[in-house]
Amino acid sequence: MGKKKSTVQDALMLTDKGYRDLKKAIAACTLTNFSMFIPAMVMLQVVMELLKPFTGGSISWTNMWIYFGLGIIGAVIVFLCNKNDYKKTYVASYMESENTRIALAEHIRKLPMSVFNSKNLSELTTNLMGDVATSEHVLSHVYPQIISNVITITVVCSMFAFYDWRMALAIFISVPVAFLIIFASRRIQERLGKKHAQAKLEASEQVQEYIEGIKVVKACNLDSQQFQALEKALRTMKNLAIKFEFGSGVFVTGAQMLVQSGIGLTVFAGTSLLLNGKIELVPMLLCLLIVTRIYGPIITELTLLPELFYHQIAIRRMRTLMNIQPMEGDTEKPVKEYDIELKNISFRYNPQGEETIKNVNVTIPAGAITALVGPSGSGKSTLSRLIARFWDVNKGQVEIGGIDVKELDPEHLMEYMSFVFQDVVLFNDTVYNNIKIGNMSATEEQVLAAAKAARCDEFIDKMPDGYQTVLGENGSTLSGGERQRLSIARALLKDAPIVLLDEATASLDPESESCIQQAIGRLIQGKTVLVIAHRLRTIAKADKIIVLDDGKVIEQGTHSELMEQNGLYKRLYTIQQESLGWSV
């Protein structure tokens, strides 16, 4: 069982290490604050020494040399404290934000796909980058400094109170009142901050949509219409940013003025006490020094205080994401048989929506090729995603080798499956590494052999740096056929016992098609194969064909059995055969 987190740690969403580091950062900043008094005190002594001739004394040069030496030692101490403070605040907060980002990314990886239906990419990017950056900034620039200043001023004033409580009160009183002003405005600032954060998110969604859709925008000559939406989102964001800054500015300036009035109050209290003989000159000057030393940073930090409210908004968003239950399951349970049973399964994407898969009950035998066919939108891809547990079924069970996939951790389940989808995702990395993703522990020989078997070597050899050619973002320079062959190479390298294959719909030239067919032939040897077939002639030899229509299985059998049944399969097959003879 994990250690219980303290309320502060939980409120700031810190890891155990992050919380420990924050406490260390506060201690380091407090130490720096106190170290700053050393040069100030030395300075005060020098001034007192220089004033001696005016009170009938003479300057002691021995004392002056001592102060000079103490000044140098003080400067060294301040430098060392600052260095330590820098390390404890900045380095620690960057480390914490890295850990938070990794934790969020790990969590996102384990979330069910339904989450990605309701959250778009911008929202998740904002969580990972923007919200964590807000945390990073307040942990490095706001919390340690503000808390350490409050500690410093409280300690100094408490000590001073023993000497003269009136001066201590004059120094101290304006600080809590200033903080109170900022915290009293919390509701207004949070409301404005929330609106601004939402506008930022909408603007980033618009930017992303605009950039992603730039090809369509150009092709359909949508420039001005599409840009209007982006412009509107950016304008709203600007207006709300100004409102937010203005809203917090009023309170911050008020609080800053109040703190500054504390200097006047200290001077006033000090002078009247001095004139009434209730305080001596040196302690009074000391008070003024303290005021200027401590108030300076506090005035600066009051500007940063509204960020704490913004931070709360970011934390709430990150917490909402972290509270989404990830898909769980056994991480080790071995799957020994590879037949797949779909037992009365039903599934809908949206809780209020219609069922996409309706009471499907079929077997996909081990070591055989099963084809899934049906009209567009009948649920073929959905069914294959349910087998891979990208989503969990709402009713019934998906079993592999007699084990309900819900019992298996999705990452463990993936060890038994290879995918060849139409929308092949390629990373901005070398061709070699893009293939190796299939099996990170594969040797170079294995990677090259898989590439050869998938007939990738033919086009890779023509690339400027061969296997070391960097593909660019999502491999945009590769043709559809080449992308699919890379994906087959990955699957060959993985050598998983179950293969889910989404046959390309795009019309490939006969040469590419034959290359891909040969590569697929090697991939599926001896495996449990489920192929989503769009061109029915390619699956005529499949061991089993399942025909889906509107989420239901309406026919199943071999090609000849289905042709005899004279149903949907025969109709689809005949239409495709006829269309082969068409020419444009």
Ligand X SMILES: Nc1ncnc2c1ncn2[C@@H]1O[C@H](COP(=O)(O)OP(=O)(O)OP(=O)(O)O)[C@@H](O)[C@H]1O
Q: Do the beta carbons of residue 157 and residue 286 sit within 8 Å?
A: no
- If the CB atoms of residues 296 and 377 are measured against ligand X, the closer one turns out to be 377
Q: Considering only 119-127, 315-323, 370-378, 429-437, which stretch makes contact with ligand X by CB under 6 A?
A: 370-378
Q: How far is the CB of 134 from ligand X (least distance, A)?
A: 31
Q: Say which DSSP state 535 is in.
A: S
Q: How far is the CB of 348 from ligand X (least distance, A)?
A: 9
Q: Say which DSSP state 189 is in.
A: H
Among positions 93-132, residues that touch ligand X (CB under 6 A) are 117
* 358 forms part of the interface with ligand X (CB under 6 A): no
User: Looking at 33, 127, 152, 382, which residue binds ligand X (CB under 6 A)?
Assistant: 382
Of 497, 459, 451, which is closest to residue 478 (Cα–Cα)? 459
Q: Considering only 31-39, 317-325, 374-382, 511-519, which stretch makes contact with ligand X by CB under 6 A?
A: 374-382
Q: What is the DSSP string of 247-262?
A: HHHHHHHHHHHHHHHH
Of 147, 178, 148, 172, which is closest to residue 160 (Cα–Cα)? 172
φ, ψ of residue 340 to 5 degrees: the values are: -115, 130
* 377 forms part of the interface with ligand X (CB under 6 A): yes
Q: How far is the CB of 383 from ligand X (least distance, A)?
A: 7
Q: How far is the CB of 215 from ligand X (least distance, A)?
A: 21
Residues that bind ligand X (rule: CB under 6 A) add up to a total of 11
Sign of torsion, CA 469 472 474 480?
negative
Sign of torsion, CA 523 525 527 532?
positive
* 538 forms part of the interface with ligand X (CB under 6 A): no
* 421 forms part of the interface with ligand X (CB under 6 A): no
Of 255, 34, 24, 303, which is closest to residue 146 (Cα–Cα)? 303
User: Looking at 39, 247, 306, 379, which residue binds ligand X (CB under 6 A)?
Assistant: 379
User: Looking at 118, 376, 566, 579, which residue binds ligand X (CB under 6 A)?
Assistant: 376
- If the CB atoms of residues 385 and 412 are measured against ligand X, the closer one turns out to be 385
* 381 forms part of the interface with ligand X (CB under 6 A): yes
* 386 forms part of the interface with ligand X (CB under 6 A): no
Q: How far is the CB of 371 from ligand X (least distance, A)?
A: 13
User: Looking at 349, 421, 432, 459, which residue binds ligand X (CB under 6 A)?
Assistant: 349
Query: Which amino acid type is present at position 107?
Result: H
Helix (H, G, I), strand (E, B) or coil at 470: strand
* 380 forms part of the interface with ligand X (CB under 6 A): yes
Query: Which amino acid type is present at position 3?
Result: K
3-state secondary structure 339-401: CEEEEEEEECCCCCCCCCEEEEEEEECCCCEEEEECCCCCCHHHHHHHHCCCCCCCEEEEEEC
Q: Which residues bind ligand X (CB under 6 A)?
A: 117, 349, 356, 374, 376-382
